[in-house]
Chain A
Amino acid sequence: MAFIPHTEADVAAMLAAIGAAGIENLFDEIPPDLRVKSLAGVPPELNEMEIGRLMTERARTDGAPLSFIGAGAYEHHIPAAVWAITTRGEFYSAYTPYQAEASQGTLQLIYEFQTMIARLTGMEVANASMYDGASATAEAALMAVRANRKSKSARILVPSTLHPHYRRVALTTAANQGLKFEDLPYCTAEGITPAASLARYDGQDITALVIQQPNFFGRLEDVDALTDWAHARGALVIAVVNPTALALLKPPGQWGSRGADIAVGEGQPLGVPLCSGGPYFGFMTTRMEHVRQMPGRIVGRTLDVAGHPGFTLTLQAREQHIRRAKATSNICTNQGLLVTAATIYMSLMGAQGLARTAAAAHARTRELVAGLTRVPGVHLAFSGSYFHEAVLQLDRPVAPVLKSLSNRGILGGLDLSGYFPELGNALLVCATETKTSADIDRYRACLSEVIQAARAA
């Protein structure tokens, strides 16, 4: 019996101690008409060898194409030590650290994580993580409404250059609590949010402004001007940032003259594999003055009864298991395993490794853009500065081109025409440090072939 150690003798002895005739008698409180008759829809059991074969075959079916897709999930080198340690049973199969004495490993690790993420974002305090970058953004909006006492409107300005899925998640999560998300139009020629689109909100009660850097198109926004505009009008600033990029770009804590108020983002680039979208983790940081409005778990350092330093979950009174209906959120999780991987990753890479990774990714993307725009019919959509991701425009619909490329084992990028029809035949491409010049040249050559073949047809 898979994972069940009982022998017949064990079962007999146990039933005797209970005073029941059979296991079925233990279910005698359950009305008989509710009992399951059969589970025909579940296939018969497989042993480990059999499931191993099945999964290996299925993985092989999916193969390993050469991928140039970014759009919120990024392929980076992950040192072998990261997951060798993260999958140790003591981390992998431990529970949430509610019994602090039995969980000092997890608690100390989270404290180290909080410290590193706060430093990376240039903010004062971090929580132990959220589910992902999108839900962290939604929670940041809810937090801004709580924290911005002077504002009553619950209006959140959201640039159209924010990742479209993040916008959708924010709506799904927060719309039922009375938040109003308003879209800020972007400049279609430049791919960024111009100061002009903010001007019409002058004099109005705005609770918060969301700023993503780099934005969804990979373009760099004028974060200082946007931040100062928001603060001058009593709005809080929610920064949505890429952690690898923060090794080289100005962190949210230093945007404008006062810095952002809340900074969130997707932590996946820090040692977490792509794995078709999850599990990832969202990070959230803020100023100390807002720490009580921040959802999620937080680890603090304290002393024990003998005066020794130790770590424990703190500020739990805000959380669901105590505050119940008045909790800051219903969240009951932090992405512990992924935080473990990210903390080990950040320790191994350090600031220099992270900066090298960011620089190499940027260099590769520039190389990719240069290569692909040599193909006739392909040009760069926005002329301004971008970071590790860029938008190209083709002279023909993107979907058939991507299909032909994928038949040749290349995933060329993300087709933007469904999300941003006003950009025409637009393609979002990304190259990280994992791509070589040979890879990039292969893409260029294939794209050239595909487009020529399409022209000839």
Chain B
Amino acid sequence: MPMPEKLIFEYSHAGRGASDQWPRDPGPAALADLPAKLRRVRPPELPEVGELETVRHFTRLSQLNFSIDTHFYPLGSCTMKYNPKACNQYAMLPEFLARHPLAPETHGQGLLACLYELQEMLKEVTGMQSVALNPMAGAHGEFAGVAMIRAYHRARGDLKRNEIIVPEAAHGTNPATATMCGCAVREIPVDAQGDVELTALAAAVGPNTAGIMLTNPSTLGVFERHIGEVARIVHQAGGLLYYDGANLNAILGKVRPGDMGFDVIHMNLHKTFSTPHGGGGPGAGAVGVGARLAPFVPIPLVGKDGERYRWLTEADLPQSIGRLSAFMGNTGVLLRAYIYMRMLGREGMQRVGEYATLNANYLLARLQAAGFAAAYPQRRASHEFIVTLKRQARELNVTAMDFAKRLLDYGFHAPTTYFPLLVPECLLIEPTETESKDVLDAFVSAMSQIQKEAEQEPARVTSAPHTMPVRRLDDVRAARQLDLTWKPTAQS
């Protein structure tokens, strides 16, 4: 069992430091021209530690984490697939790392070629006409998408269209984004099969409809079978269709959002295109648009004049919604996505959707055979599916949270719990295509074991995890007694 690790500040000793990392002292005269009243009086209290201490501390911290490199991580809606080491190695070539964002295009044709080709490949797999790579996260891409929809209507003088329709099962970023764009949110129900309720949709659209935000497959893990009809209803009412690409992994290479009638899509490069999650980021939320929205894309994009690549900016796209990033977005992340897509190639792209779906359906079948209840048993799984533990909660007083914690003891990161909110006591499970059959079988085994424990020895499950550095942290206390920065005299 990993030992708790002290805070870096607790290793600090006055006078210690990795002094070989410091530049040579320019001497006190170097700062003579700085006005005294603008100078810092006391240095900031950063740790004074040596290099080995620092390396040990952060290495030990890393060992307290579960990660894809160490554990099966079936988090639904997160697409925790293997992050190929080649993507990191070649994205971190020294010339790429050293290049300043404002360096001239003449000293960036290699980089720009990669980004241009990435735009082209993303257009092809999504069926969209134009792709902007600069939004820095999925939610950022969503913002761009809704802002473009709004800009489109305003450009046509249609100023009343400020309502965004969102299915009640949608991820929280969707309504939050709509609000950030100054739009009102209108929620519509999904039916018992997990599809959007068409009659409710028809009643919800009208002259105030700016658009609808959909994920397909939906957050319930099933394909929106009436997508053609949904598109028709919304377009006829004058609204546009926004595709949340969180679940693109399910259909990559098999179906294209552009073909389904979507006007704008955001992609999560850190999900579908395997760039690293990094403990919370960086992501990259590239957006793709059809012809209607092409004039509004956020700048910059990469363009090509003959054989030369260059940046397209406000001068080229005067109706652009503007700039979302100080520079051109998360370039290093884009390079990793490029390398990944080139390694997959057209053959590999199709296999992603196929094997992600195969793995999900296999895992679903085996879990059902082991006695677990699927939320939508009559539907095919997409790349993910929902298991509900409401029976266990009712009969055994063991919840989805308890199962999730006990799975940690078995060496598996828990699936997503309690999302989507519609399904009680749910686990949203997404294995991804990079997991082998053995791993899936081992997961089923663990779940069956935990079920047995829940029946025979429930305390073992409800008081899990037993083998982690901490157990069931008190988040009420965390929110009531805010301890957000370390203070030397703080008592625990």
Contact indicator B18/A348 (Cβ below 8 Å): yes
B325-365 to A contact mask, C-beta < 8 Å, 1/0: 11111111100000101111111111100110111011001
- A19 nearest CB across to chain B (Å): 7
- Contact A30/B255 with A18-B361, A65-B107, A224-B37 known, Cβ cut-off 8 Å: yes
Interchain CA distance A17-B277 in the complex, whole Å: 32
Contact indicator B96/A323 (Cβ below 8 Å): no
Contacts of A204 in B (CB 8 A): none
Q: Which of B97, B177, B325, B419 contacts A135 (CB 8 A)?
A: B325
Contact indicator A402/B104 (Cβ below 8 Å): yes
Contact indicator B61/A108 (Cβ below 8 Å): yes
- Contact A305/B82 with A23-B354, A93-B69, A103-B65 known, Cβ cut-off 8 Å: no
Query: How many A-B contacts at CB < 8 Å in the complex?
Result: 673
A243-279 to B contact mask, C-beta < 8 Å, 1/0: 0001111110010000000000010000001111111
Interchain CA distance A324-B147 in the complex, whole Å: 18
Contacts of B152 in A (CB 8 A): none
- Contact A42/B121 with A120-B46, A334-B281, A347-B54 known, Cβ cut-off 8 Å: yes
Contact indicator A36/B44 (Cβ below 8 Å): no
Interchain CA distance A56-B350 in the complex, whole Å: 27
B72-80, B199-207, B387-395, B451-459 - interface stretch: B72-80
Contacts of B113 in A (CB 8 A): 58
Contacts of A110 in B (CB 8 A): 279-280
Contact indicator A45/B347 (Cβ below 8 Å): yes
Contact indicator A48/B343 (Cβ below 8 Å): yes
Instruction: Determine whether B414 belongs to the interface, using a CB cutoff of 8 Å to chain A.
Output: yes
A160-168, A183-191, A372-380 - interface stretch: A160-168
Contact indicator A31/B23 (Cβ below 8 Å): no
- Contact A385/B478 with A3-B81, A51-B342 known, Cβ cut-off 8 Å: no
- A108 nearest CB across to chain B (Å): 6
Instruction: Determine whether A208 belongs to the interface, using a CB cutoff of 8 Å to chain B.
Output: no
Instruction: Determine whether A116 belongs to the interface, using a CB cutoff of 8 Å to chain B.
Output: yes
Instruction: Determine whether A314 belongs to the interface, using a CB cutoff of 8 Å to chain B.
Output: yes
- B350 nearest CB across to chain A (Å): 7
Q: Find the residue from A42, A171, A334, A338 having the highest chain B CB count within 10 A.
A: A42
Residues of A within 8 A of B (CB-CB), count:
201
Contact indicator B47/A41 (Cβ below 8 Å): no
Interchain CA distance A277-B255 in the complex, whole Å: 33
Q: Find the residue from B37, B96, B279, B332 having the highest chain A CB count within 10 A.
A: B279
Contact indicator B379/A17 (Cβ below 8 Å): no
- A409 nearest CB across to chain B (Å): 9
A80-88, A151-159, A231-239, A440-448 - interface stretch: A80-88
Q: Which of B7, B24, B121, B280 contacts A112 (CB 8 A)?
A: B7
Contact indicator A411/B479 (Cβ below 8 Å): no
Q: Which of B37, B96, B120 contacts A62 (CB 8 A)?
A: B96
Contact indicator B150/A176 (Cβ below 8 Å): yes
Q: Find the residue from B59, B84, B99, B104 having the highest chain A CB count within 10 A.
A: B99
Interchain CA distance A326-B176 in the complex, whole Å: 7
B135-143, B235-243, B287-295 - interface stretch: B135-143
Interchain CA distance A340-B278 in the complex, whole Å: 9
Contact indicator A34/B255 (Cβ below 8 Å): yes
Contact indicator B486/A111 (Cβ below 8 Å): yes
Tell me the chain A residues, 79-128 only, with Cβ under 8 Å from chain B: 79, 81, 83, 85, 87-97, 99-106, 108-112, 114-116, 118-120, 122, 124-126, 128
- Contact A276/B44 with A3-B82, A330-B177 known, Cβ cut-off 8 Å: no
27 pairs across A/B with beta carbons < 8 Å?
A2-B84, A15-B358, A29-B225, A30-B254, A31-B225, A36-B255, A55-B114, A59-B93, A69-B102, A73-B327, A87-B88, A95-B73, A95-B277, A96-B279, A101-B405, A102-B408, A250-B41, A276-B108, A278-B325, A279-B333, A302-B477, A315-B482, A322-B172, A336-B282, A350-B49, A356-B23, A360-B25
Contact indicator B67/A91 (Cβ below 8 Å): yes
Contact indicator B107/A411 (Cβ below 8 Å): yes
Contact indicator B7/A108 (Cβ below 8 Å): yes
Instruction: Determine whether B62 belongs to the interface, using a CB cutoff of 8 Å to chain A.
Output: yes
Contact indicator A276/B342 (Cβ below 8 Å): no
Contacts of A203 in B (CB 8 A): none
Q: Which of A19, A23, A83, A102 contacts B357 (CB 8 A)?
A: A23
Contacts of A346 in B (CB 8 A): 46-47
Instruction: Determine whether B223 belongs to the interface, using a CB cutoff of 8 Å to chain A.
Output: yes
The 8 closest A-B pairs by CB, nearest first: A45-B345, A89-B69, A277-B327, A337-B278, A277-B101, A336-B280, A58-B110, A172-B322
Tell me the chain A residues, 54-72 only, with Cβ under 8 Å from chain B: 54-65, 67, 69, 71-72
Interchain CA distance A326-B46 in the complex, whole Å: 36
- Contact A44/B482 with A96-B277, A115-B9 known, Cβ cut-off 8 Å: no
- B138 nearest CB across to chain A (Å): 6
A208-248 to B contact mask, C-beta < 8 Å, 1/0: 00000000000010011000000000000000000000111
Interchain CA distance A55-B92 in the complex, whole Å: 10
Interchain CA distance A144-B331 in the complex, whole Å: 30
Instruction: Determine whether B397 belongs to the interface, using a CB cutoff of 8 Å to chain A.
Output: no
Instruction: Determine whether A433 belongs to the interface, using a CB cutoff of 8 Å to chain B.
Output: yes
Contacts of A421 in B (CB 8 A): none
Contacts of B227 in A (CB 8 A): 31, 34
Known: A274-B97, A343-B8, A347-B47. 20 other contacts (CB 8 A): A3-B81, A17-B366, A26-B357, A31-B225, A58-B114, A62-B108, A63-B95, A90-B65, A94-B65, A95-B277, A108-B64, A133-B326, A176-B182, A266-B326, A291-B482, A305-B474, A314-B482, A332-B137, A352-B22, A363-B26
